[in-house]
Amino acid sequence: MKTNNTLLLLFLGMLAIVSCNNSNKQITNPKEYNEYLSIKGNESLDFANEEINFWQNKYENDTLQTSYLGIIASKYATLFQYTGDIKDLYKVEELLVKSNEASKFSKVGTLRSLARNYIAQHRFKEALVLADKAFAIGEGRKESQKLLFDVQMELGNYDEATKNLEAIKDMKDYDYLIRLAKWNDHIGDIDTAITFMEKARTIAENEDNKTLKIWSYSNLGDFYGHAGRVQDSYNSYLKTLALDPNYAYALKGIAWIAFSHERNTKEAKRIIESIENTHNTPDFLLLKSKIADYEGNFMEAEKNKEAYFEMLSKNNYGAMYNKYNTLLYADDKTTATKALEIAQIEVNHRPTPDSYDLLAWSYLNTGDAKKALTIVQKKVAGKTFEPHVQYHVAMIYKANNQLGKIAAIKEELQGSIYELGPEFEAKINKL
């Protein structure tokens, strides 16, 4: 009987291992993306530089042709996309400001271009001023309404955003469909969001528009991941890379699958370090810190965190990393008051539920759980479905002994561990 019990325990143990392996089955295959980790050169980047030189020479020979400034600006935007160098983004701004000044801010195209640059810089209120101005001029109103939807979503003005979305309604229009997908993602209906994004992808494929196909595939990669469709996410990122081998965002998506789904930290780091050779931005240092922390390599995690702050100090990123900074500072009781200061700035910049969550989380970590709860009740609960926010809400409820509200959130979060990261598994179980 004793032997039988031992065999039974061994059998059950093997079943548990098999079950675990099935739930986190191997998705990535290095043979399918290795070629993208060692790409020499970038044709899009080279072409952009050639175009900058060409149009810059034309402009210098005829400075009255201010239309050239917009062309040059678009090429610097391409540089920023591929290198992540913040100086290129500011160069775009400089050129577009000059172009708008030359036209006395009367051309809707250059107004919208500058507004989009401000969105990239997280200068949303300034972007809204330009978008409103473009709309008021009247030319190309639907394009201005698309822009207004984007800005209002960033600012948390959801009623205004939906009005603009309704105004551009056209189920055969790519731009409308991707915004409809974004809206459904915002309200927590990821399946509907995917349906509309897939419709947009079909339009891009039927038109054989390379730029739109790349955008569709990479965004579907994200959406599929949010929905737990990790294999589909991986396949979509591969499709992106097949069209643009230098598309760092898709490689980052594959690195996340290796880390969060497969728990293969070695492979995730290999991918990230290859991206950093050409696309060097602070968020990759934070991802490496997160991976090291999960491995238990706390010295390496701290080293990457310090490198992140050093990179911020050497480059002016404005408000672009306020969210990351708030979360990092809030995690340490000695810097939690600093988190509170940044969170308040972020709320002023963009009063969204996510920004108020940062404020509530900062109050919790400075010891004011009641203040945190008040903010959650008024500005966060039921207004956003982001897993990170939901985790913060649950922790704030727990700190205020409102335990009855946690069970439903906990169940939801257990289905979001892939999106949150593997280190959240233990945190969620403790709720």
Average pLDDT over residues 145-160: 98
Residues 336-361: tens digit of each pLDDT: 999 999 999 999 999 999 999 999 99
Residue 370, pLDDT score:
98
Residue 8 scores a pLDDT above 80: no
Report the mean per-residue pLDDT for the chain: 94
pTM for the whole structure: 0.92
Those residues with Cβ within 8 angstroms of residue 206's Cβ, 6 or more apart along the chain or in another chain: none
pLDDT band at 292 (very low <50, low <70, confident <90, very high): very high
Q: Average pLDDT for residues 311-328, to the nearest whole number?
A: 96
Q: What is the mean pLDDT of residues 367-394?
A: 97
> What pLDDT sits at residue 24?
73
DSSP code per residue over 126-137: HHHHHHHHHHHH
**pLDDT of 3 over the 60 cut:** no
Residue, of 20 and 414, whose pLDDT is higher: 414
Q: Which of 367, 366, 422, 424 is nearest to 390 (CA)?
A: 424
Give the HSE-up count for residue 182: Cα atoms under 13 Å, Cβ half-sphere.
Answer: 19
Span 232-245, pLDDT tens digits: 999 999 999 999 99
Question: Mean pLDDT across the stretch 373-393?
Answer: 97
Helices (H), 168-317: 174-186, 190-206, 210-226, 230-243, 248-256, 265-276, 282-295, 298-314
What is d(CA 309, CA 182) in angstroms, rounded to the nearest whole number?
31
The pLDDT value recorded for residue 64 is 86
Q: What is the pLDDT of residues 23-56, one digit of tens each?
A: 578 999 999 999 999 998 999 999 999 999 999 9
